[in-house]
């Protein structure tokens, strides 16, 4: 589903590579943690998958997309097959919960009858059907992140990228969010989650890809945050 082949990325303003000869393959429905200290290249990795950046060397594939080489006009199609969740939720503050989710479908031209059907379904999946008409500021952080996940998932993307999705949440709320992501992963969606959260990585025992100075220094099938810790 995701394949990086000998990918290096050197930003114009920098001398050392943000990614340095990275090769990683992630299968359909896999759940993978991307870990490493600040500046190790996690965000660059995610940005390459979305074609927000292009590699200096190597190939990037997401599903059938040859991401780095494909024509610009195909980028919207690529991005429609990738859902994104961020640490700061990024909800539209002047829209209700249901409108936030619906908006993701409106912008890609889904018909109104489809939107009316699938928005309540996905709100139920994330446990927020009773809050459909609330505004984001009326929700807790955990609930806001659930809305963001509903919005990212409503179009049934092949891949879900989560960049520190629990970074602003307390440990219990974070565990709830992880259970939700696990449920989404069981539907066959591939999930790649960048995180600094040791306890979550340790409790989930999923595949861990660790970056250090732009290189993959570990790829464990059922890893913990720190080896031997």
Ligand X SMILES: Nc1ncnc2c1ncn2[C@@H]1O[C@H](COP(=O)(O)OP(=O)(O)OP(=O)(O)O)[C@@H](O)[C@H]1O
Is residue 165 a contact point for ligand X (CB under 6 A)?
A: no
Is residue 15 a contact point for ligand X (CB under 6 A)?
A: no
For residues 132 and 123, is the Cβ–Cβ distance under 8 A?
A: yes
Is residue 166 a contact point for ligand X (CB under 6 A)?
A: no
Q: Could you say which of 32, 41, 83, 143 contacts ligand X (CB under 6 A)?
A: 41
Is residue 185 a contact point for ligand X (CB under 6 A)?
A: no
Is residue 14 a contact point for ligand X (CB under 6 A)?
A: yes
Neighbouring residues of 105: CB distance < 8 A, sequence distance ≥ 6: 114, 115, 118, 119, 154, 155
Q: How far apart are CA 28 and CA 30, in angstroms?
A: 6
Between 136 and 214, whose beta carbon lies closer to ligand X? 214
Between 9 and 131, whose beta carbon lies closer to ligand X? 9
Q: Could you say which of 1, 4, 7, 18 contacts ligand X (CB under 6 A)?
A: 18
The distance between the two most distant Cα atoms of the chain, rounded to a whole number of Å, is 53
DSSP for 136-186 reads GGGS-HHHHHHHHHHHHHTT--SEEEEESTTTTS-HHHHHHHHHHHHHHHH
Assign residue 62 a region (left: φ > 0; alpha: ψ between -120 and 50; beta: otherwise).
beta
**Tokens found for residue 88:** 């700061």
Is residue 42 a contact point for ligand X (CB under 6 A)?
A: yes
Strands 19-26 and 31-35: unpaired
Is residue 39 a contact point for ligand X (CB under 6 A)?
A: yes
Is residue 40 a contact point for ligand X (CB under 6 A)?
A: yes
Piece in contact with ligand X (CB under 6 A), picked from 31-39, 83-91, 128-136, 149-157:
31-39
Between 36 and 165, whose beta carbon lies closer to ligand X? 36
Is residue 36 a contact point for ligand X (CB under 6 A)?
A: yes
Contact set with ligand X (CB under 6 A):
11, 13-14, 18, 36, 38-44
């Amino acid at each position: 589903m995701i394949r990086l082949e000998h990918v290096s990325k050197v930003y114009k303003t920098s001398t050392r590579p943000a990614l340095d000869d990275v090769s990683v393959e992630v299968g359909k429905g896999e759940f993978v943690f991307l870990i490493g200290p600040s500046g190790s290249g996690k965000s660059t990795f995610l940005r390459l998958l979305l074609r927000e950046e292009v590699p200096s060397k190597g190939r990037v594939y997401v599903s059938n997309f040859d991401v780095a080489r494909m024509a610009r006009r195909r980028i919207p199609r690529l991005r429609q097959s990738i859902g994104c969740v961020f640490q700061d939720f990024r909800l539209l503050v002047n829209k209700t919960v249901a409108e936030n989710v619906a908006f993701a479908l409106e912008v890609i031209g889904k018909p109104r009858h489809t939107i009316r059907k699938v928005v309540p379904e996905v709100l139920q999946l994330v446990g927020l059907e009773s809050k459909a008409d609330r505004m984001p500021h009326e929700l807790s952080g955990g609930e806001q992140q659930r809305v963001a996940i509903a919005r990212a998932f409503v179009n049934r993307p092949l891949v879900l990228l989560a960049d520190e999705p629990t970074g602003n949440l307390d440990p219990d709320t974070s565990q709830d969010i992880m259970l939700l992501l696990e449920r989404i992963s069981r539907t066959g969606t591939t999930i790649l989650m960048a995180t600094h959260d040791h306890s979550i990585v340790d409790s989930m025992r999923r595949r861990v890809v660790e970056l250090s100075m732009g290189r993959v220094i570990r790829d464990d099938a059922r890893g913990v945050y720190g080896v031997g810790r």
